[in-house]
């Protein structure tokens, strides 16, 4: 059966994509953020997962406000990255894994999660920036991908509890896939940030650090936060933390943080990454 060997998290803002394109890895402004990634890349290089299941949110490239699925799963042979208007260079298409995608979609629907299945799907910075951060910016990453977009853009967004349970079901789906594939699950976005309104630029470091600790030790506690309180504590766009919770739900082995980094602000967000090992 397929095996989830770890979980990866990172912030995904478009300005990171631009800094990667400009190779600003040593730039004093960006270095404290980019320095979080070499240990994670080394771990990926050592363990060589076959598949990345990427939990992110689409920001208007593939879905817009007129049609907004709560949970959408890609089931395409490949996923293209198109111009989102942020000035990020578009990347080569990412490889899909339609057989695994359909297995996950069937399992999730059987577990009463109603899924929008997408046989064509474009992916935005919420997907592409993490892929570059984890696998480098030179060429196609050496993994097949299953994109999972969860609505964090237009209310009502799914609650932290719902997303954690989504992750639990996702973990069972992957663990019942007849294959010896090694899988990593990504949760992207966050941490605290707010792009507009009176609180534009809002960052809440104590809340972020609490989330980074409890995502390892007490995810059920984080899953009890209401959507309202999450937006209050993390900012309107910091609600993307539900994507981390969905990732964490899928890890039900012996979970420990092998590496983490937090640096704020990065552009107008709290920039963070984590590598969670999921041992048998
Ligand atoms: C920004 C942050 C996001 O999370 C996002 O998805 C898009 C833009 C920003 O900081 O500009
Ligand atoms: Fe975002």
Q: What is the pLDDT of residues 68-95, one digit of tens each?
A: 999 999 999 999 999 999 999 999 999 9
CA of 118 to the centre of ligand 2 (A): 20
pLDDT in the model for residue 138: 84
Please give the Cα distance from 59 to 57 (Å, whole number). Answer: 6
Taking CA atoms only, the protein residue closest to ligand 1 atom 6 is 13
Q: Which ligand is closest to the CA of 192, given by its number? A: 1
pLDDT, the chain, mean: 97
Count how many domains the chain has: 1
β-bridge mates for residue 261, sequence order = 273
Grouping H, G, I as helix, E, B as strand and the rest as coil, residue 121 is coil
Percent of the chain with pLDDT over 90: 98
Q: pLDDT at residue 139 above 90?
A: no
pLDDT digits (tens, 9 = 90+) for 100-129: 999 999 999 999 999 999 999 999 999 999
What CATH number has the domain bearing residue 118?
Answer: 3.40.830.10
Atom of ligand 1 nearest to the CA of 269: 10
Q: Radius of gyration over alpha carbons of the chain, in Å? A: 17
Cα 228 from Cα 218, distance rounded (Å)? 20
Which residues participate in catalysis according to the annotation? 125, 193
Please indicate whether residue 62, judged by its CB atom, sits closer than 6 Å to ligand 1: no
In short, whether 14's Cβ falls inside 6 Å of ligand 1 is yes
d(CA 38, CA 44): 10
Range of the domain at 47: 3-279
Which band of pLDDT confidence, cut at 50, 70 and 90, is reported for residue 208?
very high
């Amino acid at each position: 059966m397929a095996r989830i060997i770890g979980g990866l998290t990172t912030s995904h803002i478009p300005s990171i994509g631009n800094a990667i394109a400009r190779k600003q890895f040593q730039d004093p402004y960006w270095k404290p953020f980019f320095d979080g990634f070499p240990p994670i890349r080394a771990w990926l290089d050592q363990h060589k997962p076959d598949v990345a299941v990427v939990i992110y949110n689409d920001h208007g490239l593939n879905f817009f406000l007129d049609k907004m699925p709560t949970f959408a799963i890609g089931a395409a042979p490949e996923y293209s990255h198109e111009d989102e208007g942020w000035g990020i260079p578009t990347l080569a298409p990412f490889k899909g894994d339609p057989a695994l995608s359909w297995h996950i979609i069937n399992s999730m629907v059987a577990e009463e999660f109603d899924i929008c299945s997408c046989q064509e799907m474009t992916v935005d910075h919420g997907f592409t920036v993490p892929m570059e951060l984890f696998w480098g910016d030179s060429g196609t990453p050496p993994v097949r991908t299953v994109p999972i977009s969860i609505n964090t853009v237009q209310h009502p967004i799914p609650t932290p509890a719902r997303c954690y349970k989504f992750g639990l079901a996702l973990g069972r789906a992957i663990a019942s896939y007849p294959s010896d594939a090694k899988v990593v699950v990504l949760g992207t976005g966050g941490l605290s940030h707010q792009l507009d309104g009176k609180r534009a630029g809002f960052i809440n470091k104590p809340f972020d650090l609490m989330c980074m600790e409890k995502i390892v030790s007490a995810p059920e506690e984080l899953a009890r936060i209401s959507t309202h309180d999450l937006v209050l504590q993390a900012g309107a766009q910091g609600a993307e933390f539900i994507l981390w919770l969905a990732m964490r739900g899928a890890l039900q082995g012996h979970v420990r943080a092998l590496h983490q980094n937090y640096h704020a602000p990065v552009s107008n967000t709290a920039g963070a990454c984590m590598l969670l090992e999921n041992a048998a």
